[in-house]
Amino acid sequence: MVSETTALPGYPLTVRESTLSSAYMDEQNAIARPAPRSPDALFRAMGDPTRRRLLQLLIGEELSVSELVDVLRQPQSTISRHLKVLRDAGLVRDRRDGVTSYYRIRDAGEDRDELERTLFGWLGDCPVPESVTRRLQHALRRRDDRAVGFFERLGKRWDDLRVSAFGESFAAEAFIGLLPTDWTVADIGTGTGHLLPGLASHFRRVIAVEPATAMLECARHRVAENGRENVEFHQGDLGRLPIADGACDLALACLVLHHIEEPAAALRQMHRILKPGGRLLIVEQCSHELQEFYEIMQDLWWGFDPAEFRRDVEAAGFDDLIWRPIAAHPPASSRIEAPRLFVMTARRANRAPANVSHQRTRQGRKP
């Protein structure tokens, strides 16, 4: 005969401890489970015809108190009182949106018992008067009209409102999500690091290269302000990038090549640092004759002719080239005429760059 406090062989608990532990767990499980609704409580909550009609409407739509008032043609106090009964019975849920409360039935996955499922199935099969259905459709159309009216009233001010709330770059940053997060990305000629926060928030490793000390310090400060720690900074010549061979999955140069002495050399360097099949992304100026812009920006090149630039990229060891113009949108206050822009993407081919330097036509580089 085992005593009540004797430990059983092979078990760490005594009989008494095991019994108490089991009782405790049963109590905790009972607390975690929602208390079952009694049939009387359910029938009382659904015994009123107005409450049944409310449930019928809320089976198909989430509706506000004012919408239910309009649909059922009853005073707000009456509708609110009936909704409180249904909510207290656990048959509906409510949520607030500003000053408006919306109601819906409990989701089917929220532990409905067989009685509830039967009652809701019966309610769903009951016919709704045509007049009530018409008023419901009218209420939903008015809700849509109010939403459309909001945007109609805003008109062109919508862009300003959205920019003031979210900034201008959130959409572009969202598109980065199409690329793998485990990539190593090189931002060649990073400047003040305008792209770095967005790149660092998505990619595992970012390498920023910039020859100008002041620019590089601005980039460091910008990244630190955004709390990013996965950006490496290197000061160096863009024609001799301080990055190991085959270290990167993506190399990008945004409005950089027209500032450097030998763009073709920089292209060959980007080929070197990319893994086989790595991607190249370049944003540049189309060739132009805008003297004021040229002098203000202290450019070395008057932009690039697309056909000539394509030959340079291919000669640097890239294929799968895609070129397209970019529609720039300068602010209305801008007083300087700027050249058109283009973007070119390419893939690092499994071949060495050719030692070819194409003679540029027209204006070429700055004398």
Q: Is the pLDDT of residue 159 over 60?
A: yes
- Residues paired with 325 in a beta bridge: 342
Same domain, 122 and 248: no
Same domain, 245 and 103: no
Residue 137 in any domain: the answer is no
Same domain, 320 and 194: yes
Q: What span, in angstroms and rounded, lies between the C-alpha atoms of 332 and 61?
A: 45
Residue 227 in any domain: the answer is yes
Residue 115 in any domain: the answer is yes
The CATH number of whichever domain residue 312 belongs to comes to 3.40.50.150
Same domain, 295 and 239: yes
Among 264, 355, 353, CA closest to 317:
353
Residue 357 in any domain: the answer is no
Q: How far is CA 367 from the centre of its chain?
A: 46
Residue 353 in any domain: the answer is no
Same domain, 181 and 298: yes
Write out pLDDT tens, residues 193-236: 999 999 999 999 999 999 999 999 999 999 999 999 999 999 99
Over residues 300-326, the mean pLDDT reads 94
Pairing of β 248-254 and β 184-188: parallel
Write out pLDDT tens, residues 6-57: 343 343 444 344 444 444 444 444 433 444 567 777 788 888 899 989 988 8
Same domain, 176 and 319: yes
Q: Is the pLDDT of residue 365 over 60?
A: no
Same domain, 109 and 222: no
Helix then strand then coil, % of the chain, to nearest 5: 45, 20, 35
pLDDT at site 359 = 47
Please, which residues have CB within 8 angstroms of residue 256's CB and are 6 or more apart in sequence?
Answer: 188, 189, 191, 238, 266
Q: Which residue range(s) make up the domain with 287?
A: 167-348
What's the structural domain count of the chain? 2
Global model pTM greater than 0.75: no
Residue 231 in any domain: the answer is yes
Same domain, 332 and 255: yes
Q: What span, in angstroms and rounded, lies between the C-alpha atoms of 120 and 8?
A: 51
Same domain, 104 and 176: no
Residue 143 in any domain: the answer is no
pLDDT band for position 125 (cuts 50, 70, 90): confident
Higher pLDDT, 43 or 65: 65
Over residues 310-329, the mean pLDDT reads 92
Same domain, 110 and 179: no
pLDDT at site 263 = 94
Burial of 323 (0-12, 13-18, 19+ CB in 10 A): middle
Question: Which of 37-46, 307-316, 351-360 has the lowest average pLDDT?
Answer: 351-360
Pairing of β 248-254 and β 274-285: parallel
Same domain, 309 and 235: yes
pLDDT at site 8 = 36
pLDDT at site 18 = 42
Over residues 132-144, the mean pLDDT reads 85
Residue 205 in any domain: the answer is yes
Of all residues in the chain, the percent with pLDDT exceeding 90 is 44
The CATH number of whichever domain residue 65 belongs to comes to 1.10.10.10
Among 190, 183, 196, 316, CA closest to 253:
190
Two structure tokens written together for 146: 């109010």
Same domain, 195 and 114: no
pLDDT at site 148 = 59
For 351, the enclosing helix (H) or strand (E) is none
